[in-house]
Structure formats: C-alpha cells, structure tokens
C-alpha cells in the first residue's frame, strides 16, 4: 500500500480527499490537523468522525509549526506528503500577516525538512489562485510571469512555491504545487461565499456583497479538485511543476447569487457594501497543462455542484 502523510486532513478538502482515497483503496493514510480555531473545531471533528477506527487511517492532532513534535509523533515512513494545512482567507491575512507568514511558509518549510530528513521524494502542495493577483492575461496560465499578489495570504503561497523549488533542486524532492481555484462543495468552510450565502438565503437574511457583484470567480467542485490531487500523488514526469486546478469557467458574483436563488428557490435580498482590500476582481484558470500532464478533467458544473451542496447542507444544518 502507498503510504501518505496528509496535513490539514480534517478540513474541507483534506477530509474529502481521504474519503476518496479510502474508496479507491490501496493507501495507508496518516493525517494531521491542529484544529485551528479559525472556525469551530466540532465541524472538523464531524468531517472525520466516521473514519475513527479505520485500520488504514490514523489521525494526529499536531501543529505543523512544531517540528520536534512532527519528528517525534510521526514515523517518517511515507511515500508522499500532501500538504494542505494552512492559514486560509485573504481578508484575515491582512489583519494578521505575521501569523499567516509563519504558518504558511515556516510550516511548509518544516514539512519539507521532514521530507528531507526521512527521504520522502514526493511532495504535493496546496497553493492558491490568489498568487496571480491582479493579472489581465486571462485565463491565467502557470507560465504567466506577472504574479502580483495583493494579500499576505497570496504572497505566503508564492513564497512556499519558491521554497519548494529550492528543496526540489537541493534534495531531489519532487515538488508539485496545485493552484486551487475557489473550491466549493460539501464541508466547505462556513466563512466562504457559497456556504455563507446559502445560510443567509435559508434564514431569510440579507446577502452582503462587497462591491458591485461583477467580480468573477472560477468555481471548482471539490470532487474535481480531489481527483487532481490524486493524479499529482502519482505524477513522476518531472521534479518541479505548478498546475492550475480550476473549472475554467468564469462566473460573476451576481450570477452565483442568481444560481443560488434557482437552487434554493428563494429570492435573495442583497446588501451592497464597499469593496474589500485584498480581493482580486477575477480568478480564471487555464487548465490545459493539468489536462495534458495530469489527466485532469473537471466534470461538475456550478449548478450541479450547488445542488449537491444544498443536499449536504440540508443534512448538516
């Protein structure tokens, strides 16, 4: 069985990834999570509750900033590290940039040191579409050199990608950075737009929109992201690569709200507020490289994904 170390395994993407890996079979999974108080610990515990006791999955409550505990509590006998743990969110990173830099960069360095120490040769890193910043060359391609991040969160992700290149070069670690584009679906964090707006609709509360609603996002269903991660686990054609994982479809915020109205059959009451610092006007992925080299092929469109999310939300509210 292939042995995996997954950081952030109790979170939104991590827990969905573990579910899929168990369904496929052939993996022995060690997952760590520090249950960061960014949102309720009970939500993450619920994400993994049914996995407790599974002989092919072990969970450890560990912080990626504590290198000694990582060394002392993990065997090191892994084929691949999938590093999903991070301080997430653009707005909060502006309020607390030092913490974001520490967790997202120093935490990543600790995992790379752990890989070096234990001769783990495959490292898959969760990066972000936010690294592109404000870039008029749409859709965004991995070959774009105009990376102009406008938040500490985004800059921490670029820095971690560059750190991965250093370790790949010096220590023969295959480093694969996956730039996720606006992931949604079951277990999505409660602070993110689709989850938050859905709750507001269900509770007949006004939806708060920052700006005029014309900002655009490339909404990507979590199952498609998970399939991209699994493809990266087995990728072996080069030592360092960056891949966009998106849906390659641009949806405005106004169109998203209209789609939610259709799915929930509720008319939204919208309250417009000033634009937030750190938010980019558009995210839009060119996914040709991931299609060609990973076999990545997103299947779930926005409306289908929102229907699946609504079903999950109805069972977990």
CB atoms within 10 A of CB 279: 14
The closest alpha carbon to 82, from 7, 181, 163, 168, belongs to 7
User: Between the CA of residue 57 and those of 4, 20, 71, 123, what are the distances in Å?
Assistant: 10, 12, 19, 19
Residue 120, both tokens: 């783990």
CA–CA gap between residue 303 and residue 252 (Å, rounded):
14
Give yes or no for a cis peptide into 139 (omega within 30° of 0).
yes
The closest alpha carbon to 157, from 89, 64, 222, belongs to 89
Check: CB of residue 31 under 8 Å from CB of residue 50: no
User: Between the CA of residue 271 and those of 39, 213, 256, 306, what are the distances in Å?
Assistant: 24, 10, 15, 22
CB atoms within 10 A of CB 72: 9
The residues annotated with a catalytic role in the active site are 153
């Amino acid at each position: 069985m292939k042995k995996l170390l997954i950081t952030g395994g109790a979170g939104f993407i991590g827990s969905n990834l573990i579910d899929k890996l168990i369904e496929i079979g052939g993996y022995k999974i060690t997952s760590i999570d520090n249950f960061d108080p960014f949102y309720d610990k009970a939500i993450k515990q619920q994400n993994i509750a049914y996995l407790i006791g599974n002989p092919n999955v072990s969970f450890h409550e560990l912080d990626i900033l504590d290198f000694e505990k990582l060394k002392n509590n993990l065997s090191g006998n892994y084929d691949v590290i999938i590093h999903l743990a991070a301080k997430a969110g653009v707005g909060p990173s502006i309020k607390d940039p030092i913490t974001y830099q520490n967790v997202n960069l120093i935490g990543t360095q600790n995992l790379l040191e752990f890989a070096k120490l234990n001769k783990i040769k495959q490292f898959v890193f969760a990066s972000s579409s936010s690294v592109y910043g404000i870039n008029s060359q749409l859709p965004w391609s991995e070959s774009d050199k105009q990376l102009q991040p406008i938040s500490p969160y985004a800059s921490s992700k670029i820095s971690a990608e560059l750190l991965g290149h250093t370790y790949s070069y010096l220590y023969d670690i295959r480093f694969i950075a996956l730039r996720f584009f606006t992931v949604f679906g079951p277990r999505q964090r409660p602070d993110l737009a689709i989850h938050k707006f859905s709750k507001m609709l269900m509770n007949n509360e006004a939806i708060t929109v920052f700006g005029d609603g014309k900002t655009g996002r490339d909404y990507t269903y979590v199952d498609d992201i998970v399939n991209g991660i699994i493809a990266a686990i087995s990728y072996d054609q080069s030592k360092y690569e960056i891949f966009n994982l998106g849906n390659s479809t641009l949806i405005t915020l106004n169109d998203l709200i209209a789609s939610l109205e259709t799915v929930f059959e509720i008319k939204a009451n919208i309250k417009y507020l000033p634009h937030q610092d750190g938010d980019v006007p558009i995210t839009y992925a060119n996914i040709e490289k991931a299609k060609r080299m990973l076999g990545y092929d997103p299947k779930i469109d926005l409306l289908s994904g929102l229907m699946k999310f609504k079903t999950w939300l109805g069972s977990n509210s």
